[in-house]
Amino acid sequence: MALLPILCYPDPRLTTVAKPVQAVDARIRQLVADMLETMYDANGIGLAATQVDTHERIIVIDVSEERNRPLVLVNPEIVWASEEKQLNDEGCLSVPGIYDGVERSIAVKVSALDENGQPRTLEAEGILAVCIQHEMDHLLGKVFVEYLSPLKRNRIKTKMLKVRRETERA
């Protein structure tokens, strides 16, 4: 396994729409293992392949307290989302240190393939539903800050660019 570099907003590669995985093979299983290791190392609860500059429809999630129940969704599709929505504070490994409110459905039903290429359907609510929607946005080339006002988004962009410049100088 290997730690993968995580793209940081406003990297334009984060806006790339992910393509469907053609076959769940050894390459995809290795990518999933690397993504899980990267997510756990960064103390995240979710990671989309887009965030590690691989533009295929793969997300990994683990919202368990023990950090021992990884969920792998290949080619995920939300087949149902509740009309009832809730505002939740969200953060993102691609926008480190930034948290803000995003309104999302409180429950979703997702169909996908697992890490072995087997079809699965999952009903989720609470933090898992929020995380699935957040990571699926990444597959569509959307970062959570796009739900915020233009003023907030520009402030975040400016801050992230400043952090990148300081990191490059160090």
Residues 8-61 pLDDT 10s: 999 999 999 999 999 999 999 999 999 999 999 999 999 999 999 999 999 999
Q: Which helix (H) or strand (E) holds 129?
A: helix 126-139
- Give the strand pairing for 119-125 and 107-113: antiparallel
The C-alpha angle with vertex 98 and arms to 92 and 100, in degrees rounded to 5, equals 90
Among 135, 146, 166, 168, the active-site one is 135
Q: How confident is the model at residue 170 (pLDDT cuts 50, 70, 90)?
A: confident
pLDDT of residue 26: 97
Q: Is the Cβ–Cβ distance between 59 and 46 less than 8 Å?
A: yes
pLDDT of residue 109: 98
Q: Tens of pLDDT along 53-64? A: 999 999 999 999
- Give the strand pairing for 85-92 and 71-81: unpaired
On whether 134 is known to bind a ligand per the annotation, the reply is yes
On whether 55 is known to bind a ligand per the annotation, the reply is no
On whether 8 is known to bind a ligand per the annotation, the reply is no
In the chain, the N- to C-terminal Cα span, in Å, equals 28
Cα 108 to Cα 40: distance, rounded to the nearest angstrom = 24
The C-alpha angle with vertex 5 and arms to 20 and 37, in degrees rounded to 5, equals 80
Number of C-beta neighbours around residue 154 at 10 A: 13
Cα 163 to Cα 167: distance, rounded to the nearest angstrom = 6
Q: Whole-model pTM?
A: 0.96
Q: Tens of pLDDT along 68-81? A: 999 999 999 999 99
115 is catalytic: no
Q: Tens of pLDDT along 109-142? A: 999 999 999 999 999 999 999 999 999 999 999 9
Amino acid identity for residue 14 in this structure: L
Of 3.40.50.300, 3.30.565.10, 3.90.45.10, 3.40.50.1260, the CATH number of 12-168 is 3.90.45.10
Residue 1 pLDDT greater than 80, yes or no = no
Q: Is the Cβ–Cβ distance between 166 and 19 less than 8 Å?
A: no
